[in-house]
Every structure is written in structure tokens, then in C-alpha cells.
DNA sequence: TCTGGGGTCCTAGGACCC
DNA sequence: TCTGGGGTCCTAGGACCC
């Protein structure tokens, strides 16, 4: 029995979903005019996260700075995204796809694979996909592309062909005619760097990549990646549609400043914020982290990062924050302006930390209580995108385990 | 023109253990 | 006292995805 995989991809998802909402409110449809969705439109460092088709026709690309997009189209409509609405649209979209096949893998907020092997035949696959596509459009008001293939790779490549509101096939026997002429960059997993390396070697199309010897390819990109690229360029992929939702392996948060900063107080404020957010998330998901990492990014986009292993896994904001604080001087000279600062946790476990009550720092009581209060407030203010957090966090001045926020200043913990 | 925020996986080298 | 080799853990860095 042949495998039949569909890849369903929402066209310009964030613009489409916002468009549906605005039309419902009786407002003009932003999908029909040059428009983009970005983060904070007033922030000159925002980037375009989605562009309408008329905007794409003017050369606006995702992701590019909003300022650059505005230069290409001075009358561009710039909208801020609405994550609550996006989640709703995504759920509805996935729900309809799942009704066509329960063997579904959500690939991102606006993409999924379904295994249709038991649900259709190669002969009627296009008809079934067209029905699914129209079902979504007529029920939810936005369009999707459906790619059909004998594996996930081919289905995904196919959904990327002409847009919007289209169904395309990419069966194995269509690979030479439909996939091999494409530029090598169009192949999944071939990004900017890999493209540069391949082109420097004279490989411009997926077909040329499919034909290259393994020895050369291994020298260019390494053994493991070479095997994958070679298989994929030949249209081969045996990865299954994964229905299990994998547990997160890491959590991170970062903040980019409006202007590059040098004041250590500003850097610490940002670290404090991202630590609150990351620690809150792992508590919400009942994790503890063994590894804390932090990084700073400079104006030339170079990144300096550092990670450290905690004595025992923790979900306490103070522990995580102070681990990051300790690493900052090791990667930052204190004078170079910083563009962005970030904090991450990894090596996650659900195990409770071993309670060494006799040895545990008595201040931990306080820090856990502080976290508990933070989590409660976050739940209460969930509707608000931002919550002003003014709680003073210094129980013991000058303790080794410092968890203090400069008096009188506010910490803003963004959603 | 000037680049967000959140993830995953892979590689390489050093430390340490058996 | 000196030696080899494999396995595992950790850190740093780089590439990709949406």
C-alpha cells in the first residue's frame, strides 16, 4: 500500500487570521491590500512576521525589518499580532485536519502533516485534498495550501508550490520534473550557509545535489547531514507522521533593547525579566532544570554565550537568575554595548529535587513563596499582555543568594 | 537597509572513568 | 610507572526550522 501524506499550510497565516477577525468586525480585509504583521510596530527593531500577497508582490519578505518594508511600500498597513486569536484559529484548523485523519503531526502553529494512506488512494488524493482545503476556507474563512506526496518531505515541498488556496502533488515519479529544477535553497534544511557552500561547489539545483557523489557532499557538510541531504534531494524520506507531542527539551526567553545598552542595571533588569518568565514556564509545566545558559548579542550580531550546571535541578527564579548573573561578567566586558540578552534552561526533569532539609538554605522558603506569588499574579493578569511587577525581591540584603531588584524600579514581565 | 523570539539537532573537544 | 581505548558527560558553537 502506498504511503500518502498531506502537508497543510495556512497561507500567510498571521495576516490571514487577523484578516478573518477584522472582517468579522466589519472592517476592511487586510489580505487584499499590502499589509504585514509585526511585533511592536512602533519599535524600529520590529520585523515582519507575515506579509499579505499584495505586500509580497511589492518585494516585502519575511522576516525583514519593518523599516525596510516601509521603504518598499510607504502606505503599508502594519498590524500587531493577536496570539490568543491565533491559537484559536490554529486549534480550529488542526481540528478540521484531524477529522480527515487522526494520524496528525502538528509541525508549527500553522502547519501539519496527516497520514492519509488509509483514507484515500493516489487516484482520488487530489479530490480529497481539495475538499479539505475548501472545507477549511468555507468554515474558517482563510485559505490553505495542501501538498500531497508519498512522504513528509515531498508533501511539504509540494505545499510550497504556487499559493494561495492550491493543491499540489509531488509523487516520487514527479521528483525529476517538479523538484530537481528548483534552486537548492528550496530544499528543506538547506539554509543560507549550506546554500553558499553548495553553490561555491557549483551545485545550484536540487537535481545537481541529487547527483553529487557522497564523498564530495560529506566533505562539504559533514557525514550525517550529507546523508540526509542526499536522500532528500532524491525525494526519499521515511520519517513517520509523529502523533505524540514531544516534551520540551529547553525553554528560553530573550529581550532586544530599543537601543544598545551598556548600563549594567539595564542588563540586569532584562535578565531579571527573562528569568521570571522562563522559571514561570518551567514551573507551569512541572519541570526542573539542571542547566542554565545565558547570552548577549552585540550590534554586529555576534553572540557570546555561557552555560552552567546547577548543583541540583531547580525551578526557583532566584537560583536560575543568579546562575545567569554569575556568568555575565565572564562573557561581557562591561563596556561593549549590548543589543540583546537572553536566558535559557535545559536538561529538564520532572523529578523533585532531593530535599536536603538539613542543608537547604533557609532563604529558599522565601524564594519559593515569591515564585508562588508571581505565578498567582500571572494567572490573575493573564488577560493583560504585560504585567507591572513591583514586588520587592530582596529579603536579605547582601546575601550570597541575591535576588534583589533595584528599589523603586519596576520589572516588566512580558507574556 | 539593518535584522524578533522561540525552538531543535549536530559536531567537536576536554574531562573523567573504567 | 606508563600505557591504550571506549564510553559518557559537559560546554561551546553553528546550522536549521517557523
Query: If you average pLDDT over every residue of chain A, what do you get?
Result: 89
Q: Give yes or no for residue A409 having a pLDDT over 80.
A: no
Nucleotide nearest to A302 (CA to C1'): C13
Quick check: A331 and A379 in contact, CB under 8 A?
A: no
Q: What is the band of A369 on the pLDDT scale with cuts at 50, 70, 90?
A: confident
Residues 336-365 of A with CB under 7 A from strand C: 347
Residue-level pLDDT at A383: 41
Q: Which three cell numbers stand for residue A281?
A: 514556564
Which tens digit of pLDDT belongs to each residue from A346-366? 999 998 756 555 566 777 888
Quick check: A365 and A394 in contact, CB under 8 A?
A: no
Q: Which three cell numbers stand for residue A232?
A: 532528500
Kindly report the pTM of this predicted structure: 0.90
SS3 label, residue A296: strand
Q: Is the CB of A191 under 7 A from strand C?
A: yes
Residue-level pLDDT at A357: 53
Among A356, A352, A287, A272, CA closest to A320: A272
Residue-level pLDDT at A313: 93
* Smallest CA–C1' distance to B9, residue: A225
Q: Give yes or no for residue A175 having a pLDDT over 90.
A: yes
Q: Which of A44-58, A113-127, A312-326, A377-391 has the lowest mean pLDDT?
A: A377-391
Quickly list H helices, A25-174: 53-57, 66-72, 83-100, 125-140, 152-159
| Rounded distance in angstroms from the CA atom of residue A346 to the C1' atom of nucleotide B8 | 12
Higher pLDDT, A40 or A165: A165
Q: How far apart are CA A410 and CA A322, in angstroms?
A: 19
Name the percent of chain A lying above pLDDT 70.
89
Residue-level pLDDT at A354: 60
* Smallest CA–C1' distance to B8, residue: A249
DSSP string, A128-147: HHHHHHHHHHHHHS--EEEE
Q: Is the CB of A291 under 7 A from strand C?
A: yes
Quick check: A291 and A308 in contact, CB under 8 A?
A: yes
For residues A72-87, give the mean pLDDT.
92
Q: Is the CB of A309 under 7 A from strand C?
A: yes
Higher pLDDT, A299 or A359: A299
Q: Which three cell numbers stand for residue A249?
A: 527539551
Q: What is the band of A376 on the pLDDT scale with cuts at 50, 70, 90?
A: confident
Helices first, then strands: H and E counts in chain A: 13, 14
Q: How far apart are CA A64 and CA A50, in angstroms?
A: 10
Nucleotide nearest to A10 (CA to C1'): C18
A111 an active-site residue?
yes
Quick check: A154 and A175 in contact, CB under 8 A?
A: yes
Name the percent of chain A lying above pLDDT 90.
78
Which tens digit of pLDDT belongs to each residue from A105-157? 999 999 999 999 999 999 999 999 999 999 999 999 999 999 999 999 999 99
Amino acid at each position: 500500500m502506498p504511503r500518502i501524506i498531506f502537508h497543510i499550510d495556512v497561507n500567510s497565516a498571521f495576516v490571514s487570521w487577523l484578516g478573518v477577525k477584522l472582517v468579522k468586525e466589519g472592517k476592511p480585509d487586510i489580505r487584499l491590500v499590502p499589509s504585514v504583521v509585526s511585533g511592536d510596530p512602533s519599535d524600529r527593531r520590529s520585523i515582519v512576521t507575515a506579509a499579505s500577497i499584495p505586500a509580497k508582490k511589492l518585494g516585502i519578505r519575511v522576516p525583514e525589518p519593518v523599516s525596510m518594508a516601509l521603504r518598499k511600500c510607504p502606505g503599508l498597513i502594519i498590524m500587531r499580532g493577536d496570539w490568543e486569536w491565533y491559537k484559536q484559529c490554529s486549534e480550529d484548523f488542526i481540528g478540521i485536519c484531524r477529522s480527515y485523519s487522526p494520524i496528525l503531526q502538528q509541525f508549527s502553529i500553522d502547519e501539519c502533516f496527516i497520514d492519509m494512506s488509509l483514507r484515500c488512494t493516489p487516484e482520488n488524493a487530489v479530490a480529497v485534498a481539495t475538499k479539505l482545503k475548501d472545507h477549511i476556507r468555507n468554515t474558517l474563512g482563510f485559505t490553505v495550501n495542501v501538498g500531497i506526496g508519498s512522504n513528509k518531505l515531498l508533501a511539504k515541498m509540494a505545499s510550497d508550490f504556487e499559493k494561495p488556496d492550491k493543491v499540489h502533488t509531488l509523487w516520487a515519479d514527479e521528483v525529476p520534473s517538479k523538484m530537481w529544477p528548483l534552486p537548492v535553497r528550496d530544499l528543506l534544511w538547506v539554509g543560507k550557509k549550506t546554500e553558499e557552500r553548495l553553490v561555491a561547489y557549483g551545485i545550484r539545483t536540487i537535481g545537481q545535489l541529487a547527483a553529487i557523489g557522497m564523498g564530495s557532499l560529506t566533505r562539504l557538510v559533514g557525514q550525517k547531514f550529507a546523508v540526509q541531504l542526499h536522500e532528500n534531494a532524491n525525494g526519499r524520506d521515511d520519517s513517520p507522521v509523529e502523533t505524540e507531542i514531544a516534551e520540551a527539551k529547553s525553554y528560553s526567553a530573550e529581550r532586544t533593547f530599543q537601543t544598545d545598552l551598556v548600563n549594567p542595571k539595564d542588563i540586569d533588569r532584562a535578565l531579571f525579566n527573562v528569568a521570571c518568565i522562563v522559571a514561570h514556564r518551567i514551573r507551569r509545566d512541572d519541570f526542573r532544570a539542571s542547566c542554565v545558559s545565558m547570552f548577549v548579542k552585540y550590534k554586529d550580531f555576534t553572540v557570546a554565550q555561557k552555560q552552567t550546571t546547577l548543583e541540583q535541578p531547580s525551578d526557583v527564579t532566584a537560583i536560575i537568575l543568579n546562575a545567569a548573573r554569575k556568568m555575565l561578567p565572564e562573557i561581557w566586558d562591561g563596556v561593549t554595548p549590548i543589543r540583546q540578552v537572553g536566558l535559557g534552561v535545559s536538561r529538564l526533569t520532572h523529578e523533585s529535587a532531593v530535599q536536603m532539609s538539613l542543608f537547604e538554605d533557609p532563604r529558599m522558603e522565601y524564594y519559593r513563596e515569591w515564585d508562588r506569588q508571581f505565578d498567582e499574579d500571572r494567572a490573575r493578569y493573564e488577560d493583560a499582555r504585560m504585567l507591572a511587577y513591583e514586588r520587592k525581591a530582596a529579603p536579605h540584603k547582601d546575601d550570597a543568594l541575591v535576588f534583589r531588584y533595584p528599589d523603586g524600579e519596576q520589572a516588566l514581565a512580558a507574556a
